[in-house]
Structure formats: structure tokens, C-alpha cells
């Protein structure tokens, strides 16, 4: 039996017939029993030469010792099915699956309806150039950048009231950073508003606190496994509800830190670097890795974003200083949610569509390319709001994994479309 087993290649799939006996085996996760093997059968033999050894890919990436072999990310991704066998990769993907399940279950219990929206579109939902264009039976089309327009139509116009979707999102952004993918899993929600758009923020806050607390409680083993390969500090969040600050207050915190107007304009979108700086400031000042920032400048938000009525209708307020009922949410200094109250009034929506499309700095879609969306608001629409979450980015930041590609089963970026 020993001779037979010694000739099996690593990663060969075997069936074992054995007796469970009491034992003390300190080096195993199951330390109080062992298997006394009676028979062993090779079910599927692995090739003798593996792309890399599971042991080499399971070492702490920050503490490799002299002479030890480490496995680079490209090698891992080129042979993804082997990399996914490592304990850390298994743990990451199980946390990812749990996160999506917690999202859906929480919203189900809140009375939301799960939806499935088209991914083949006749026009871009967000506008701009970051769309994958294709031919659809002789007509131009594109892959969906988000379910944005359809989830609004269903929640506000079709009387579903509260909806959510978990599905693929496509972004043709030629970005090779550690936090961007060309295809990722979006977790979107949209809901009617009864009195104030803070109802959306309240729900998001309860949703994320539920996800964070449950992951820490139910996935402690997986988090420990990940930390042995990718060491990280436990994720901090405020148990009584997330911190909220306004965009202006965020800018003020950056000013106090020393970020000048030239480095970050008061009405410009935050750069990636300044997002991370703000995240560090918030963590030091408020002891949290998670916070919400709202009242963003209108000029940097999509056409369907509801303007802040105080500034938008104030004749003395310059257009570049108009604010909006919109928000972003951050984990460890990186954006994970973009959301807002949406425009439900047809005339105002049409006004904003035309303005954003003709504004060189905004780049909104052509009105005719989203005509069916616009028409839906002619017949009465509830006030509503929502947001979109990137699942892979949430998992990356919760576990402080160094690259978002590690949280995607088969990542797609500008240089990778296989395997």
C-alpha cells in the first residue's frame, strides 16, 4: 500500500477506505483522530508536472524565507483552477459567496423583490466611452454598465417598490489597477422613498453592518486562513450604524490634513489618492474603516441624480456649486458604493439628460438612446433612490486582499480574457 501511494502524483484524486481512530496529531486541523487506511484507489491521476505546488502558493506573501519558492499573481491566474485549490483562495471565494447570500437574504426580509435585467442594451446606461460595443443583428448595441435604468423603471414606475439584483456588470475601462475589473458582480438595489432620501442611507447602513457582523461571526475560520497568507488588520465598523459626513466635511478634513485646493478642488471628485488619505483620517479620528459621504457636487454625478433643491433652485448659487442628493460609501479608504436619490419628475429628468449630454465635461447619453427609459416617467413615478455595490471590491477590502483579481474566479481586465 505504501509503495502504491508513493507513486501517485500530487493532486491525484483518490478514494480511501479507512477506519477512524483516536490519535493526537498536532500538525493537522483535525488533531484528535486519524485515518487508518485499508484501501486506496486512484480515481483521476494528475500529470506529474504541476504548474506550481499548492504548498508554494499557500505561503505568507510577506514572509517568504530565503530559498522558498513563491508564486506570482500572473502564474496563479494563468492556472486559476490550481490556484483556487489553495486554502486562502477557497476561503476568499466562500466569503464572497456568503456576502452575496447575506445581501439577498437581508433584502428579502426587508420586502425587496429580486429582479433580472437585460445585459444587452441599445444604449449606454451611464454615458461616456466605457462601454463594450457590439453588433446586435445588424444594429449597434452594448453590454450593460449597470442595471441602473431598469431597476429604476421597475421600482419607481412598475410598482415593485423595492428591488435588488445580483448580476454581471461590464466596464470597458482601460485600467490596470489593483482595484478595477472589466467584468465584475454588481449587487444593486432601488427603493421608493416615503419622506427623505436618507431612508436609502439608513437601509444601506443596516445592510452593511449586518454583512460585516455576520462575516466576522460565521466566517472566522476563513478569515484566519486568509490572514495566514495575506496578513491583514480586522475590519473596523461602528456597531450602532456607520459614520456619515457630507462631501464638504470630507473636503474640510482633507484641508486640515494639508491637502490644498490645487491638490483637491472643493467641487471636484476625489482622486484615488485623496480617497485613501480621507479613509486614513476617518479611521484615526473615528475608529472605523467604513463610512458614508453624501451631498456630492451635482456636476460629477450621472444625469439621473436628484439635484439638491436648496442649491439647485437658488439663483445666487453658481451652477458649479450645485449639490446633489447623492452619496458614496467607503471601505478602507476606497469607494464600494455609489448611490443617490433619482429624478422621478419627467420634465426635470429630460432637462438633466439634455444638459449632461451637451456638456463636454459630463458626457451623458443621447436622449434618443434611452427613450424607453424616459417614456416610463411620463406616467407617474414614485420618488426613489438606490445604489450599486461591487461584490469583488467589498470582499477585497473586507479581507484587505492586495488585488481584486484574487476575489474573482476568472478575472477579466484589459489584458486578460482567458482562462
Residue pair 331/283 in contact (Cβ under 8 Å)? The answer is no
The confidence score (pLDDT) of residue 365 equals: 87
Distance in angstroms (rounded) separating the CA atoms of residues 321 and 171: 29
- Residue 288: CB atoms within 10 A of its CB come to 18
Residue matched to cell numbers 461616456: 128
Cα 3 from chain centre: 49
The confidence score (pLDDT) of residue 192 equals: 98
The confidence score (pLDDT) of residue 129 equals: 60
Which pLDDT tens digits describe the chain residue by residue (419 residues)?
Answer: 889 999 999 999 999 999 999 998 888 878 899 999 999 999 999 999 999 999 999 998 777 777 788 899 999 999 999 999 999 999 999 999 999 999 999 999 999 999 999 999 986 656 656 899 999 999 989 999 999 999 999 999 999 999 999 999 999 999 899 999 999 999 999 999 999 999 999 999 999 999 999 999 999 999 999 999 999 999 999 999 999 999 999 999 999 999 999 999 999 999 999 999 999 999 999 999 999 999 999 999 999 999 999 999 999 999 999 999 999 999 999 999 999 999 999 999 999 999 998 886 777 888 998 999 999 999 999 999 999 999 999 999 999 999 999 999 999 999 999 99
Q: 391-398 and 198-218 are packed helices; what angle lies between their axes, rounded to 10 degrees?
A: 50
The confidence score (pLDDT) of residue 65 equals: 75
| Residue 22 φ then ψ, to 5° | -70, 145
Which residues are catalytic, by number? 171, 173, 179-180, 335, 338, 393
DSSP 297: B
258: left (phi over 0), alpha (psi -120 to 50) or beta: left
Strand (E) or helix (H) holding 222 = helix 220-229
Burial of 244 (0-12, 13-18, 19+ CB in 10 A): middle
Cell of 271: 482622486
Return all residues near 319 (Cβ < 8 A) that are at least 6 apart. 299
Residue pair 58/87 in contact (Cβ under 8 Å)? The answer is yes
∠ CA(209), CA(211), CA(215), 5° rounding?
Answer: 120
Burial 388-407 (b: 16+ CB within 10 A, else e): bbbbbbbbbbbbbbeebbbb
Amino acid at each position: 500500500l505504501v509503495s502504491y501511494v508513493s507513486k501517485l502524483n500530487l493532486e491525484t484524486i483518490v478514494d480511501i477506505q479507512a477506519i477512524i481512530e483516536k490519535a493526537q496529531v498536532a500538525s493537522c486541523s483535525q488533531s484528535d483522530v486519524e485515518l487508518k487506511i485499508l484501501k486506496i484507489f486512484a480515481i483521476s491521476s494528475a500529470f506529474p508536472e504541476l504548474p506550481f505546488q499548492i504548498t508554494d502558493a499557500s505561503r505568507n506573501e510577506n514572509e517568504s524565507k530565503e530559498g522558498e519558492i513563491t508564486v506570482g499573481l500572473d502564474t496563479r491566474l494563468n492556472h486559476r483552477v490550481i490556484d483556487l485549490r489553495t486554502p486562502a483562495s477557497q476561503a476568499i471565494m466562500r466569503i464572497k459567496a456568503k456576502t452575496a447570500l447575506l445581501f439577498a437574504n437581508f433584502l428579502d426580509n426587508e420586502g425587496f423583490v429580486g429582479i433580472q435585467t437585460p445585459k444587452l442594451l441599445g444604449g449606454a446606461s451611464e454615458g461616456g466611452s466605457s462601454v463594450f460595443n457590439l453588433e446586435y443583428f445588424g444594429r449597434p448595441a452594448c453590454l450593460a454598465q449597470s442595471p441602473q435604468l431598469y431597476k429604476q423603471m421597475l421600482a419607481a414606475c412598475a410598482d415593485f417598490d423595492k428591488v435588488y439584483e445580483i448580476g454581471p456588470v461590464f466596464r470597458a475601462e482601460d485600467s490596470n489597477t489593483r482595484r478595477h475589473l472589466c467584468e465584475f458582480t454588481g449587487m444593486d438595489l432601488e427603493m421608493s422613498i416615503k419622506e427623505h432620501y436618507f431612508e436609502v442611507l439608513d437601509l444601506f447602513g443596516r445592510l452593511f453592518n449586518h454583512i460585516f457582523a455576520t462575516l466576522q461571526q460565521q466566517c472566522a475560520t476563513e478569515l484566519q486562513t486568509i490572514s495566514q497568507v495575506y496578513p491583514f488588520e480586522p475590519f473596523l465598523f461602528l456597531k450602532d450604524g456607520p459614520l456619515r459626513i457630507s462631501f464638504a466635511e470630507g473636503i474640510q478634513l482633507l484641508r486640515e490634513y494639508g491637502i490644498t485646493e490645487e491638490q483637491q478642488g472643493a467641487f471636484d471628485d476625489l482622486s484615488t489618492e485623496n480617497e485613501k488619505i480621507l479613509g486614513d483620517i476617518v479611521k484615526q479620528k473615528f475608529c472605523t474603516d467604513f463610512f458614508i459621504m453624501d451631498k456630492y457636487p451635482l456636476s460629477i454625478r450621472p444625469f439621473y441624480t436628484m439635484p439638491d433643491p436648496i442649491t439647485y433652485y437658488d439663483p445666487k448659487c453658481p451652477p458649479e456649486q450645485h449639490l446633489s442628493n447623492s452619496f458614496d460609501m467607503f471601505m478602507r479608504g476606497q469607494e464600494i458604493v455609489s448611490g443617490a436619490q433619482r429624478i422621478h419628475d419627467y420634465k426635470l429628468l429630460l432637462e438633466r439628460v439634455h444638459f449632461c449630454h451637451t456638456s463636454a465635461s459630463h458626457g451623458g447619453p443621447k436622449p434618443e438612446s434611452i427613450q424607453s427609459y424616459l417614456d416610463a416617467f411620463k406616467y407617474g413615478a414614485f420618488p426613489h433612490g438606490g445604489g450599486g455595490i461591487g461584490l469583488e471590491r467589498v470582499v477585497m477590502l473586507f479581507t484587505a486582499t492586495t488585488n481584486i483579481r484574487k476575489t474573482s474566479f476568472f478575472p477579466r481586465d484589459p489584458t486578460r480574457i482567458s482562462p
